[in-house]
Amino acid sequence: MSTAMEALFAARIYAEGQALRRTTLRHVHLADPPLAIAVWRLGGERFRAAAIAWGPLDGPFQLAVPGEPRNRDLYFAALQPFAADLCARVRRAAVSREVRQRGSVIEAVPTDALQIVVPNRATVSALGLLGRYLAYLSDRGGVAPDPVLVEAGRHLRFYARNARVPGQALLLPLDRLVADHWATLLSPFEQANLAALDAQIEPEPGRHPFDASAAAEVSARIGPEPTEDIDRVTGALLAEFNAARSSSTDPAVVEPLAQPLRSHYRDLVEPVWQLMQRVVARERQLTAAPSVSRRFSADGEAFGRHVDWVIPGGYYRTTDTPRQAAITLRRLEDALAHYEADRAVEDPACMIPYLLDGDAIRGTVASVAETKVVVKVRAVSRAVIAVDSPDPVTLPGGKLLWWTATAADQPWQVESVQPNGTGSRVVLMLTAKPTAERLPAVGNVITLSTLCTGRSGFWLLPPVEPPWTHRPDVALLEGEPIDAGDSEQPVAAVDGATVPDPGRYT
């Protein structure tokens, strides 16, 4: 991102008292409605969801509160409805399919994959850890775990891992959605707070976005990691709950006793749910960019493969092999490059940083001509255009640029750049046969950039046997249950004021 653009955004927001759109289009798919999930954990307990709220975002949420999430029986009993509902939704979404052929490969791709939205990236990590925990549960006392928990765990793992793919929309952290589409006075670090982002975009009347977000930072609680004040209340309620149930895990005993905790977490989830509803409704107002459906279709392919593998009982590795890691990295880099190119090519607002950084030119077509050039041994027809840019252009001869209207097609090659008034005249030659679709008309204002949205051929996969430099010293860990410790006695909460150096436990 261009620093000039970022500085201008900050200055205008400061002066005008209003956040600014970074985009004119929405670059991420939004289902109507998506399934939303909000999670609250116990402090420091990475695998213990003290509360999970879920449901279609256009309606009320369901809430699972185990009471004591560090008790396996209570925890799994509370998670069961959530897991069952998630599995049912995934299976339903995978039923309707369309046949797609790519080369010799024919796939039945789900037409509408299940989209999940969460408040922030921290919740994505939390769901990933919960998925890892549930996906490989061991038998306990000869009793097999509820299969629906295991299946839900595998779905959550898949969603959390897929969330790394740039531009994907299967699991959408809303803080990233908002930060990608809005310029605010918040630094990237502060943008992790969805409430602060929302307050900057829609401050209360008469309030500057800065003041609104500062107030939201103080008051809003988003989760999944609780603040001290939340867990002080939780701690007191949990102590009462544990004392009252006297080690019982009988639902008839526990259900009524968990009511105060349920009420405590319902009060925490309500504002988060409303916030997510508001954010999604606002972003849905923007027209989706043309490439959004293509990317969501690719998400659908990944979703379909996942369902086809997991429902019959397939497992995933928990640690990538070196080869898998190399392939994954390559795919993620490829997805990022394509996502950024799609955004800029389709959305003029996203092209501005490239124009400012000299990676794109914009100007009026002054002339279009055809010429003959010798390519290898034959003289072939080539189009030559002159583009008058109002701004000075610095580009080396031979540089390849793609016209945004044909960014997936062949590039233009810079022939010369000459001063032209206060700007420049850039002469470019098309590197392919000139056709009507490939040529702009004289007088058109066009943009050419270094961004290509076309597929970049095949890339070689790493060798099946990695070289010795990429072989780990120790054998890779197999996917194994990690739940042995969940039978341990829960540790007592400790007031920070009673320990000599509470900072040690940060």
Partner 1 sequence: MTSLHQPQPGGATALDRVRGRAPTIQANVRRLAAFANVHSCPTAAVAFAARVDTNKVLADTSMEMPYGQSPFAIGRGVAFEALLRRHGHAELRRVLTDGLGTDFSYAAIENLREGFQPNRAGLTMRARVTSSRMAEIAEGPQEPVVLDGAVLRADIGGLPGFFEADEMAIGVGGQIIVGENKSWPVVDGRPTDEDALGAALDQAATYVLMGRRTLEQQGVDSACMSDSVVLVTPRNTGLAPALHRQDVASRIRRIERLLGAVPDVQETAASTPPSVTFDTIADTTLPETVRLDAFGQVTDELGRVYEPASCLTSCGFAWACRQRLFADGDPALVGGSIARALPGIASLSRVAELGQGAPASPAEAPAAVPLARANRLYDEIAAVPRMTQRRTA
Site for partner 1 in 274-313 (CB under 8 A): 278, 286
Q: Is the dihedral of CA 199, 200, 201, 202 positive or negative?
A: positive
For residue 415, state whether it binds partner 1 (rule: CB under 8 A). Answer: no
506 binds partner 1 per the rule CB under 8 A: yes
| Site for partner 1 contains 321 (CB under 8 A) | no
Per-residue x/- marks for partner 1, 448-477, CB under 8 A? -----------------------------x
**Quick one: 132 or 382, whose CB is closer to partner 1?**
132
- Interface residue with partner 1, options 329, 369, 442, 499 (CB under 8 A): 499
Identify the helix (H) or strand (E) that includes residue 20. strand 20-21
**Least distance to partner 1 from the beta carbon of 488, Å?**
5
What is the DSSP pairing of strand 171-173 with strand 116-118? parallel
- In one-letter notation, the amino acid at residue 212 is A
250: left (phi over 0), alpha (psi -120 to 50) or beta: beta
DSSP string, 442-472: TT-EEEEES---S-----PPPPSS--GGGS-
- Both tokens assigned to 493: 């909460």
Q: Confirm or reject binding of residue 187 to partner 1 (CB under 8 A).
A: yes
370 SS3 class: strand
503 binds partner 1 (CB under 8 A): yes
Q: Which of 445, 450, 449, 451 is nearest to 363 (CA)?
A: 445
Instruction: Compute the distance between CA of residue 502 and CA of residue 259 in angstroms, rounded to an integer.
Output: 31
Q: Which stretch binds partner 1 (CB under 8 A): 2-10, 263-271, 307-315, 395-403?
A: 2-10
Among 9-17, 163-171, 411-419, 429-437, the segment contacting partner 1 (CB under 8 A): 9-17
Q: Contacts with partner 1 in 66-125 (CB under 8 A)?
A: none
Cβ neighbours around 253 below 10 Å, total:
13
| Residue of 33, 85, 214, 429 that binds partner 1 (CB under 8 A) | 214
Closer by beta carbon to partner 1, 132 or else 245:
132
Q: Which of 142, 205, 396, 421 binds partner 1 (CB under 8 A)?
A: 205
What are the φ and ψ backbone dihedral angles of 191, each rounded to 5 degrees? Answer: -70, -10
Closest approach of Cβ 386 to partner 1, in Å? Answer: 21
Residue with tokens 């100007």: 363
* Shortest distance in whole angstroms from residue 112 CB to partner 1: 27
Between 94 and 275, CB nearer to partner 1: 275
